[in-house]
Chain A
């Protein structure tokens, strides 16, 4: 465990000396919130009940999910770089449990992902998204959802990072996974209006669950798009937790096969 902490510490030190990288990931999500959100606010005001802020409130959780997802998968790049540059060899000949290499990476990935998500959260609130005010249970619940969600994607990212042999392939993964997952969910529009195949896709997409979960915990949306129902909160937690377990298991198996 202390080896994992040492590695986490090392990654954080490196991140701090490389601030720009951490913020680069935020560029797109900030665009989404500020430009797309503001633009849609006025459009939506004419078709949705209440003021334009309702759309922002419903949309920001989706952008948080996008941020968490992207940040988490990008975290896998640290492991990939360490593998490709041979830095991982230092860890492999050290008397530490090999799994702490994976854990250290997972921890730094989650830390980065949480940090980035929090920034988007704050910006979203500043842009008008309604949050729940002083409700510790709500905030904790929401943060737990984001953490578990991030853990799932961190796991997927780390699994790929354990096996792949170039950074190009990894970037492809990020590119091809994140936006489709966001569109195939209830982040930006109500589920009911989607064609059946998209509805089915959205129902098996963990993004939909973390988004609806956030809408009911940290954010105060009242109701879903067009007055629709939210996915039940308990279900949101369950699906996201299962997803986290899946990601963790996947990364463990991949890592063990490649290294241990």
Chain B
């Protein structure tokens, strides 16, 4: 049965789009049929991260308005066979996305795909509400930083009250994905630790993505980080997270820190 998963955070710039692309690509490589849907109307970027920006002809709003049908708007990834993209519109009219329109498109995608990954815009306005509205599961992307954790807490509250599932007395299964984590800084007490964040947000951990230059390197060339270099630290962390989404039990790896000069001299082991 198809699963609708929203990738959300409240705060902007924490890695929603990067995570949507990486998780989507990995699930597709595992043989699942995946569509990633960009809900950021007016500021679409998922097409760019996937390297499909020049292939966009029709978009989500065109489908909602009946200007194009779904198969005309869906873009198939050139690297991963089972991966598709439904791009957002660049129109400035955010009201063009209606609840009924989203319901219709999600309903149609459910009949065609195993996974529907909804890349939410930042904020708690209409676009973010619509992205989570029909979700069965949610990935909450959080940086180890106070404003991100606060906004995540707010979004968790909304997932528990404003989704169709919540209104029907069911629950949206929530997963916490901690991104841009720096083990060395957390060990030095300069950054919230994994335990701190889990304690505060009380949400099961899906994965820990280390702060890494590989993420920018992959986005520069329009490739999900998992495809650009599958052996890089963030790619391995995303691959593990995707496997957990499918129900596999994968041991949680805390990304190892690079040793600084002082650590080497003192012979300290990286945490």
Partners in one complex: no
Interfacial residues, chain B to chain A (CB-CB below 8 A): none
Interfacial residues, chain A to chain B (CB-CB below 8 A): none
